[in-house]
Structure 1
């Protein structure tokens, strides 16, 4: 759809009628394609994204798992868990 709008072989009204869409939607998709097309083919990564530290993530997962296990045991002993969890 957006490629057809970029090609310009048909007017916006014709495209809207052919694809049963509102012309504003076609314009939005066309703009998004034009702005993002270079990123699809480029291999450059954004420098705004921080590097992922897998060790830190694994440590956090371990901490959360330990806390969940502790709470599940404590709530089970107190009888506060639903019967399906017992």
Structure 2
């Protein structure tokens, strides 16, 4: 019978990575304490160190990125809706249905 894989929460990974960053214990000691493989400890430590600068990134920079993303989504939606309106107006003209609200 296979042993089921353990799934670790983000909080658990952060706690282990923080212990590793502190450097008070060796990777093997930390791994034994938390009952995980030493490679996982070093991987989580490396991942945490890579993502720490993002934590201190200014809020304005994050907002600007979000705003740009929202703008792109809105522009694509406007384009899609414009094409749909043009298509429907064309079909209305072909069928002889009067179109209200836009001058064409």
Please report the TM-score for the alignment, with normalisation by the length of structure 1: 0.56
Q: Runs ≥4 in structure 1, deviation > 4 angstroms?
A: 47-50, 60-63
Query: How large is the RMSD of aligned CA atoms in angstroms?
Result: 3.1
**1:42 & 1:36 partners in 2: Cα distance?**
10
Match of 2:17 in 1: 2
**1:51 & 1:27 partners in 2: Cα distance?**
36
How many residue pairs match? The answer is 63
Match of 1:55 in 2: 74
Deviation at 1:59, TM superposition (A): 3.7
**Per the alignment, in what secondary structure is the counterpart of residue 33 of structure 1?**
helix
Counterpart mapping for 1:1-86 below 5 A: 1-43=16-58, 44-45=61-62, 51-52=68-69, 53=71, 54-59=73-78
Deviation at 1:22, TM superposition (A): 0.5
Q: Unpaired runs of 5+ in structure 1?
A: 67-86
Q: Unpaired runs of 5+ in structure 2?
A: 1-15, 85-104
Largest Rg, 1 or 2: 2
